[in-house]
Chain A
Amino acid sequence: EPEVTQTPSHQVTQMGQEVILRCVPISNHLYFYWYRQILGQKVEFLVSFYNNEISEKSEIFDDQFSVERPDGSNFTLKIRSTKLEDSAMYFCASTQLTTGTGKDNEQFFGPGTRLTVL
Chain B
Amino acid sequence: QKEVEQNSGPLSVPEGAIASLNCTYSDRGSQSFFWYRQYSGKSPELIMSIYSNGDKEDGRFTAQLNKASQYVSLLIRDSQPSDSATYLCAGHAGNNRKLIWGLGTSLAVNP
Which residues of A line the B interface, CB within 8 A?
31, 33, 35, 41-45, 48, 50, 55-56, 58, 89, 91, 95, 97-98, 101-103, 105-112
A-B contact pairs, 21 of them (CB 8 A): A31-B96, A33-B99, A35-B99, A42-B101, A42-B103, A43-B44, A43-B90, A43-B99, A45-B98, A56-B97, A56-B98, A89-B43, A95-B96, A98-B96, A103-B49, A105-B51, A105-B92, A109-B44, A109-B45, A109-B46, A111-B42
With A and B bound together, what is the CA distance between A91 and B52 in angstroms? Answer: 28
- Which of A45, A50, A98, A106 is B46 in contact with, Cβ under 8 Å? A106
Point out residues on B near A: beta carbons under 8 Å: 31-32, 34, 36, 42-46, 49, 51-52, 88, 90, 92, 94-104
- Alpha-carbon gap, A111 to B45, bound state (A): 9
The smallest beta-carbon distance between A75 and chain B, in angstroms, is 15
